Structure 1
């Protein structure tokens, strides 16, 4: 098949392009800008566009399908040409469903934890040599790509994102997969630029549960009240399998998971990650991995890229970075690090970066999110608020939202860098949280300071 990607440079899109090239398809693509690591990875396979921009003459009648990324606009010249020629146009999730409609589809959904749970499942299956197709939102150790598609594998593991499918398909991605086996980890309001009310956001998860194939199953977090309400209210004739956080202890900065064979040390930590682990275990058992084999494999799981990832360590300091940005993720991650390193001072740096974070109503959701930190710093760049065409947000608004009087708030990238570099890190645990780049802060320089 000959496939053309409109907006090939995105994290998900370029991985799908690489997966299809690996499968033997002929791939072309366009984008107006492509950053690393997408650029180098596409270049290595000869898939990097010769020049950036949109070119209608790239769209020809011999193309079997066009895959449209979210980065493109509805009036994209290549999209308009594809419509004019009557070509088959897929969104990213539509194409994944097309590739997997004859497989058993396992879809991991939830406002938080879905990347980690999907990664845990794939780690366990890979450890035991079980071949599956997959799509996951992070780069994993031992995996070449974030997407893998074959003709022969029976199962496909899909991370189920609730964000929109494409510029011309406003359905959430996870509505299109029609899972046989599903998991729902948690519901906490997010993406308010698309789902302006909490009720509207929750409705998307109701649709997800109702989209599960009849006779299929939903594994769900019984400790999340919203999840329980959504699952129990569904009249879809499916099996409903609850999970909860397993017992664990912490000794000298190491988490020990209680198993039938006794306490077992694991690499990940935090109540939210132990909950994720419990969900992953049930899904693996549904796929045919028994409990003992799951525990053997999960003991070596170090975490997904950018998810509570250790970036530096010395005798007196340990530092992590995390993709956390929504209120529930910030709170869970901060509590996890404080619990793991209770005898150390926890210094938390949070960059506010997303559209939702600068909405005055949504800001209130951050109340108490940094309470577990001994010292807390929030950094944001007012110019990024203006770029998003939002009303200005003042430092006082942020302080009022977090309900923390000693919260430090910085709005200048150089001042933030200076603060990070001059902080006293003796006997401390440090946590960086953002979906951005901390105003250009070089975390390798920070690592050199810590490990000097």
Structure 2
């Protein structure tokens, strides 16, 4: 089968391209910019485009599938050529469904926790050598690629994202998967550039639950009132399995899960991670993994990439980075950090740079998000606001919305870096929360 990727360099897209190459497909692609690690990984597989840019001549009648990434625009010349030739054009999730429509599909959804839960499930399955197809949104220890596709595996585990599928398909990605087994971890308004009201956003989850196949299974977080409402109001037939935060204790800096089989020592921390773990356990049960086997495997789970991930520093200082940027994720990460390091001086840094996080209406949701830290720092770039054509935001406004008078606010990278360099990183513990890089800050030094 011959496939062509329009915008092959994306985090998700390049992993799918590699998975198809490994499956034996002919793979070509284009992009106007490709960065690391995508560039090296595509080059290693021999599918890195020779030139950057869009080339309609690459689109030929013998192509079986064109896969369109979100990075491309509706007026993309390669897309126009594919339409002209009448080729089959797939969004990323649409193509994943085509690859898995004869398998049992397990879809992990939610505003937060979905990457971690999917990672936990795959870690446990890999530990017990149970082979499945998968797609996950973070690089995992022990896995070469974030996507795996085979002819023979019976199950496919998919991280279900509520964001749009492609420039020409404005459905949420997870609505295309039609899960046989699903999980919903939580609902907290996000992507407000697309979902203008909270109800618009919740409606995506209503539709997701409605897409569960007849007689399927939904594992859901019973501690989230919005999730509970969606589940209780669902009209289609499926089995409902609730889960909640399990009992645990912290002793000498180590987290122990309280189970019927005794205390289970863990390599991760934070109540939200233990809640995620409980959801993963229930999904693994559906896949034939007994509880004792789940606990045996989960002890060695060290976390998904950039989810409370410990950074090895040259000075041996204690620093964790987290992808948290949405309010619910920031609050969960800060809570976990303050609970784990009760007796240490705690520094928390948050970078605001997504469209939602810089929207004045959305900033209300960050109230008290940084409470419990000894030093709380927020960084956003005034230049980024100009690029996004957004109105200026004052540091005073940020402090007001965070309801934290002691908040330090930096609006350019130079000032942030100067402050960072004054700190002794061996004194205290550091939590760095961003889906960016704090204006190029090197967290290892």
For normalisation by structure 2, the TM-score amounts to 0.99
* Shift in alpha-carbon separation, 1:148–1:77, aligned structure 2, 3 A: same
1:61 aligns with 2:80: no
Which deviations, in whole Å up to 9, do the C-alpha atoms of 1:298-342 show, x marking residues without a partner?
Answer: 000000111110014699942100000000000100110110110
* Shift in alpha-carbon separation, 1:324–1:388, aligned structure 2, 3 A: same
Structure 1 residue 390: Cα displacement? 1.2
> 1:303: which partner in 2?
303
> 1:449: which partner in 2?
none
Q: CA RMSD in A?
A: 1.1
Does the CA-based 8 Å contact 2:184-2:218 persist in structure 1? Answer: yes
> 1:102: which partner in 2?
102
Does the CA-based 8 Å contact 2:315-2:426 persist in structure 1? Answer: no
> 2:389: which partner in 1?
389
Does the CA-based 8 Å contact 2:313-2:444 persist in structure 1? Answer: no
- Matches for 1:21-100 after TM superposition, within 5 Å: 21-100=21-100
- The range that moved more, 417-426 or 6-15, is 417-426
Which deviations, in whole Å up to 9, do the C-alpha atoms of 1:27-74 show, x marking residues without a partner?
Answer: 000000000000000001111101000010000000001000000000
1:358 aligns with 2:374: no
Does the CA-based 8 Å contact 1:223-1:244 persist in structure 2? Answer: yes
How far, CA to CA, are the matches of 2:385 and 2:312 in structure 1? Answer: 31
How far, CA to CA, are the matches of 2:300 and 2:51 in structure 1? Answer: 43
Does the CA-based 8 Å contact 1:337-1:429 persist in structure 2? Answer: no
- The range that moved more, 31-40 or 303-312, is 303-312
How far, CA to CA, are the matches of 2:426 and 2:444 in structure 1? Answer: 19
Structure 1 SS opposite 2:318: strand
Structure 2 SS opposite 1:106: strand
1:294 aligns with 2:294: yes
How far, CA to CA, are the matches of 1:294 and 1:316 in structure 2? Answer: 32
1:253 aligns with 2:253: yes
Q: Which runs of 4+ in 1 moved over 3 A?
A: 312-317, 424-427
Q: Which runs of 5+ in 2 are unaligned?
A: none
> 2:132: which partner in 1?
132
Does the CA-based 8 Å contact 1:306-1:322 persist in structure 2? Answer: yes
Structure 1 residue 402: Cα displacement? 0.2
> 1:143: which partner in 2?
143
Query: Would you say how many aligned residue pairs link Structure 1 and Structure 2?
Result: 445
> 1:120: which partner in 2?
120
> 1:330: which partner in 2?
330
How far, CA to CA, are the matches of 2:415 and 2:318 in structure 1? Answer: 23
Structure 1 residue 216: Cα displacement? 0.1
Structure 1 residue 426: Cα displacement? 5.1
Structure 2 SS opposite 1:199: helix
Structure 1 residue 346: Cα displacement? 1.0
For normalisation by structure 1, the TM-score amounts to 0.97
